[in-house]
Amino acid sequence: MKRIIIIGAAGYSGAQLTGLLLNHPEIEIVNLYGSSARGKKDSASRFDELFPKWRGCTDLTIQAMDLDEIINSDVDAVFLATPHEVSHDIAQPLLDAGLTVFDLSGAFRLADHSLYEQYYGFAHKHKTLLEKAIYGLPELNREYLPEAELVALPGCYPTSIILVIAPLIEAGAIDTTSTIIADSVSGVSGAGKSPSAKSHFCEVSLEPYEVFTHRHGPEINQYCSADVIFTPHLGAFDRGILSTMHMQIADGWDESRIRMLLEENYDHEPFVRVLGKNTWPKLSAVVNTNYCDIGLKVDEARKHLILVSAIDNLLKGAAGQALQCMNLRFGFSETLGLAKEMPCLIQ
């Protein structure tokens, strides 16, 4: 059994992660904490009272974060479902204490520390941790995860895009001198639990936001190894991401060859499904699962490729992917706790 702590368990991703780990046969949750941004508001709040769908599954409470208490706990790992600045500030002392850190924020995703002030609003002071962090996309970095001390979990939008584009770029299937476009629509849970006017039930609508300025833009470019024009949209639904990508294929490539490449690349992957011809991803097929579904079609005359992916932003885009990485880190089966026969508490 591995003993773990979750910081930020009162947010959507943290709560989803808590629910998954409550059902994991090799994990004991020692304690749940709120993020420092929440102060004492979550102190001594029962998890199953804040999230009633887990009523009767646990009597754990969400306490105000106490870093000294966490460091002195007898645990193997800490999950940070915290604001970016909080993860930035507390990761180093946790690592110094010998704990494995799984960070669901964006604090350690980018290699270039100078980008943090522009895209995240704070100056990054831990360049060595940026070099040390392993990007937690198992399909790209599985070989590095068993030895990782700091795992930087990908953003939800980047997951839906990088899984599709990165293998094509690497294989030379895409004309990178032409424009690559990714338009993504996310459910409102992607905005987090803190209320805002745009996420209010009576105000939420389908609309783009943070055009050319979204913090996931440089992350997508870094791990796709290409310049991608990314535009996020807010959808009037609770969870899930649908991404539609446009690009020109390179000479010598056609739809059958691209499909074969993706199928060969993901045939052994438990959570990526390349759909058949003229079958397209849809949110209803992936919500409440850890799957990424991929569909594609090429206009051969125009040499234009359209790719579509769908994920659950709180699972494959956050908590489920974190669990995948944890399983790989500690030598468990990668699908443990995420299998199809898992109890409905995943929902």
Q: Which residues are catalytic?
A: 156
Cα–Cα distances (Å) from 141 to 107, 123, 215, 318, in that order, read: 18, 27, 22, 16
Task: Provide DSSP, 76-127.
Answer: SEEEE-S-HHHHHHHHHHHHHTT-EEEE-SSTT--S-TTHHHHHTSS----H
* Contact (CB, 8 A) for 185 and 97: no
- Which residue type, as a one-letter code, is found at position 134? I
d(CA 127, CA 106): 14
Cα–Cα distances (Å) from 84 to 36, 80, 153, in that order, read: 11, 9, 12
Cα–Cα distances (Å) from 65 to 60, 80, 189, 195, 293, in that order, read: 14, 11, 23, 22, 37
d(CA 294, CA 306): 11
Q: Closest by alpha carbon to 187, among 109, 120, 243?
A: 243
Distance between start and end Cα atoms, the chain: 24
Q: Is the dihedral of CA 179, 180, 185, 189 positive or negative?
A: negative
